[in-house]
Structure 1
Amino acid sequence: MNWSNLEHLLLDEQPERLLCQAPDMTLAQFRHQALCAAAALQQRGVRRLAVHLEDAGELVVALFAAWRAGASVLLPADLQAQTRERWTPQVDLWLSPHAGDASLAELCTSAPLAPAALDLDACQLSLCTSGSSGEPKRIDKRLRQLDNEVRGLERLWGAQLGDACMIGSVAAQHIYGLLFRVMWPLCAGRQWVRLPVPFPEDLQRVSRQYPRFAWVASPALLKRMGDNLDWPALSAVRRVFSSGGALPGDAAQSLQQRLGQWPCEILGSSETGGIAWRQGQPLWQAFDGVQLSGDDQGALQVRSPYLPVGHVEQTADAVRFEADGRFELLGRLDRIVKLEEKRIALPALEQALASHAWVSEARLGVVRERRAYLGVLAVLSAAGLQALREGGRRALTETLREHLRGHCEALALPRRWRLLGQLPLNAQGKLPQARIDELLAAPRGKEPELLAQHRSDDGLHLDLRVPPDLAFFTGHFPRSPVLPGVVQLDWAVQLGQRLLNLPPRFAGMEVIKFQQLVRPGDQLSLTLRFDSTRNKLHFAYHNLDQQPCSSGRILLDGPIATEPEHA
């Protein structure tokens, strides 16, 4: 591959090299857009630029434009109101699709600045992370740190990747996606896919467009990749990278069996950059140049060329080192809680719970009421969901509590359970402890999970999932939970009022039929059609086998006062 130094990418080398497609962007086009946008930023006097762009091609143009203009860049984790409120005092301009923000297209209308080399020590990038507590924080990096890291990645895996196109399921707003999806292939002469590909079927579709490809994936995606994919075709993947959280061992083994290779797991953080990697083994190997040690508490300390010179990053990861320098992760030291003066390591209990055949993943937190106790978010496996359907919630949770008795004192047995289809990870693939505690404090939900929606000539079509821990299953029935028919009616009305122009008041129902039971975890399709001449909402639920579950007509009354949400 033809390597280009990060600091020289705005100079006139290999102009026709294709960086990404749909739409195509060559190196010459990238340079021209970046230099035009740099001129616009200078004209506006921008010294601090916040950038949030889903398109990785646009993102890299914005980064190099800011650096050429002498501006620092902040990459916020999202565009939520509280995020903007937090960071707006620290920036001069927002570049994003948000209404009122600057757009890259408008910046690129200026006459370009002259090409110039960048100063790796002057160009600054700030990343935003939620951290383990959920409190947002800013991490400042110099371009030299990113340059050191992409050079290290190329030395380690460049020959194996060759000219593979980098296809990612993770956002480029965060350190893992930014480095692996954009900065590394930009320097190495590989193409990348502009938009993240978060679903297995989409990953397959995009991969088929390239003769050689590699995946920059999250554990959340990799553990959802099932038998319905064309695995012989996908086995052409050069490398599967995984980072952002722990990849379950059974998911890693499944990928090895289907693809003929173990995924490359990356350990790191926004603060440290890459720390270590492993492939098909329990122990981690530090990246070249990264020096690791443990403090008096057994917590990992990092010295690295990806950190400021001379800085030692103190982590809260407990480790055990082998004689050859490889190490085992033992869990987070900052996730040790005290209950009645007893110290309880939450990661150890989570691992013990996930060792049961009914549980895929678990996260524990503290419920603080009159007396503090532990609660758990448990993602059920297929066997666990079947146990819930056949024996009920109480039998399932008591079985899991009994399983934990061999791993902890009675004081540490969870008393509150929330049963999930998947963990509610944030945009960075994390689930901060503050969010875990918040979910445990909240009551059990009463709404379906809306997976997809589209319109056709015969109405509005919604794909729904019935949460396994729905509050309405209580008492209906204790040992064989079934979704009540009245809830199905209520969901049809509520979703219709949210997404269609419907009168607000229930006035009756007609021809109501209940034909199939709806159970925890079921996926349903719901078709809604409103007859405005008769004020009747026609609804029909079907299961995945297209068997009818329930249907009928709901009479509504009253004036239509609001516009519906877009569907």
Structure 2
Amino acid sequence: MREVWLDDAPASIDRLRRALSDALAGGPAVLPLDANDPSAPALRDSMAPDEPVEPGTAAIIATSGSTGAPKGVLLSAAALTASARATHERLGGDGHWLLATPARYIGGLQVLVRALLAGTEPAILPPGPFRPDGFAEAAAPLLKSPGPRYTAMVPTQLVRLLDAGGAGLDAARAFDRIILGAAATPPALRERAADAGVRIVPAYGMSETASGCVYDGVPLNGVHVSLAEGRVLISGPVLAGGYRLRPDETAESFVDGAFRTSDEGRFDADGRLEVLGRVDDMINTGGVKVPAGAVERVLAACDGVREACVVGVPDPQWGEAVAAAIVAEGPRTGIAPLRAAVRDALGAAAAPKRIEFLDALPLRGPGKVDRRSVRDTLLP
């Protein structure tokens, strides 16, 4: 395998692009790593770089996952290119891309794959924390190019562009499509984007599906989504080959040509997939099972709420209690109306017994809420 250590220099992205191009053509598998992450050496060692790579692997996405146990997702050239081609087909054709998320994660890596297949050179966001003015600067040359212009980002980045306005928001408006992934897109954010003239495409997927494979509830061409006892199953040419040196976990997660996700879902009246939340985010409070994702959606729809994260915390009376971390939109709202909204929508058991306001939700990886950190914050 070929390790590519990514730092703040744009040259490291160029090294990854070259290595990725070779891998897609049958060369050594690529393992992208973050040179600025103190835990990266241990993550690298867990990938057993001296052991032969599983046949057919073009890229290994090393991730700590939601449990903290390192995993290496094995992606073939066929899976990566199938995802990229289906994405271009859905969005409106090959185009120019802005890399706005870390390339060591599948969302960023796929931006590079899409640009390689399109024969275009991606623009790259400046290193460091996300800044709307930096987004505008990075996008400026790309937006002068003919043909479709795309980028992919996490919802938090879009929120910052909408909040800041100015040149960053103007640049966002100029993209033909902006894919939003890594975390759910709240209905309120959809409305804000539409009102601001930003064309977003909420995406659902993961490393095991070579990035987003369901766009705005509709699977990409070639991808099939089904439900088994509420759990989302995904099949199609975008699937990973399994996990690095973990045959047992591979056999458990990839069954009969389908990937068993950790998410619960349902199909709406139009047949679109709606992801309700993770199976392991179910809260058992007083013998009643409460889906955290459902409570989050009710809270996020309340006036004055920008973001919400719901977790279960230990409770001597109920076993688990529903607890919520809220990021307010403007002045903080009262707690009683929030509880009432959840109670009216989902029943008394779902109403949060503990609500805390935070300035921002803690994040991990490419913009995903760090639920363990939220749970630690909300512990009584």
Quickly name the TM-score band, shorter chain normalised. Answer: 0.7 to 0.9
C-alpha separation between the residues in 2 aligned to 1:410 and 1:324? 30
* Shift, 1:370, TM fit: 4.3
Maintained 8 Å contact 2:154/2:183: yes
C-alpha separation between the residues in 2 aligned to 1:415 and 1:215? 40
The answer as to 2:281 corresponding to 1:335 is yes
Of structures 1 and 2, the one with the larger relative CO (CA 8 A, separation 6+) is 2
The answer as to 2:337 corresponding to 1:355 is no
Query: Whose helix fraction is larger, Structure 1's or Structure 2's?
Result: 2
Give the stretch that moved more between structures: 191-200 or 77-86: 77-86
C-alpha separation between the residues in 1 aligned to 2:351 and 2:150? 43
Q: Deviations over 1:409-467 (max 9, x none)?
A: 5554433333112221113211243333223238xxxxxxxxxxxxxxxxxxxxxxxxx
Structure 2 matches for 1:33-432, cutoff 5 A? 47=1, 49=3, 51-53=5-7, 55=10, 56-64=13-21, 71-76=28-33, 79-92=36-49, 122-159=56-93, 162=95, 164=96, 166-180=97-111, 182-195=112-125, 198-210=130-142, 211-212=144-145, 213-224=149-160, 225-226=162-163, 228-230=165-167, 235-259=173-197, 262-273=199-210, 274-278=212-216, 284-295=217-228, 297-307=229-239, 311-321=257-267, 325-368=271-314, 370-371=316-317, 372-384=320-332, 387=333, 396-432=334-370
* Shift, 1:382, TM fit: 0.9
1:178 aligned counterpart, secondary structure: helix
Q: Structure 1 unaligned runs (5+)? A: 1-46, 94-119, 279-283, 388-395, 443-567
- Which amino acid in the other structure matches residue 235 of structure 2? R
Maintained 8 Å contact 1:171/1:196: no
Maintained 8 Å contact 1:168/1:215: yes
Q: Deviations over 1:467-521 (max 9, x none)?
A: xxxxxxxxxxxxxxxxxxxxxxxxxxxxxxxxxxxxxxxxxxxxxxxxxxxxxxx
Residues 298, 415 of structure 1: CA spacing in aligned structure 2 closer, same or farther, 3 A cutoff?
closer
C-alpha separation between the residues in 2 aligned to 1:67 and 1:293? 29
Maintained 8 Å contact 2:153/2:181: yes
* Shift, 1:287, TM fit: 0.3
Residues 88, 311 of structure 1: CA spacing in aligned structure 2 closer, same or farther, 3 A cutoff?
same
Residues 405, 84 of structure 1: CA spacing in aligned structure 2 closer, same or farther, 3 A cutoff?
same
Q: Deviations over 1:305-324 (max 9, x none)?
A: 01158621012333333687
Q: TM-score when scaled to structure 1? A: 0.55
1:343 aligned counterpart, secondary structure: strand
C-alpha separation between the residues in 2 aligned to 1:234 and 1:276? 22
Q: Deviations over 1:175-210 (max 9, x none)?
A: 111112x11112212221234572222212222333
Structure 2 matches for 1:539-558, cutoff 5 A? none
* Shift, 1:276, TM fit: 1.1
1:406 aligned counterpart, secondary structure: helix
Task: Report the aligned-residue RMSD.
Answer: 3.1
Residues 254, 194 of structure 1: CA spacing in aligned structure 2 closer, same or farther, 3 A cutoff?
same
Maintained 8 Å contact 1:253/1:262: no
Q: How many equivalent residue pairs?
A: 349
- Which amino acid in the other structure matches residue 244 of structure 1? A
Q: TM-score when scaled to structure 2? A: 0.79
- Which amino acid in the other structure matches residue 289 of structure 1? G
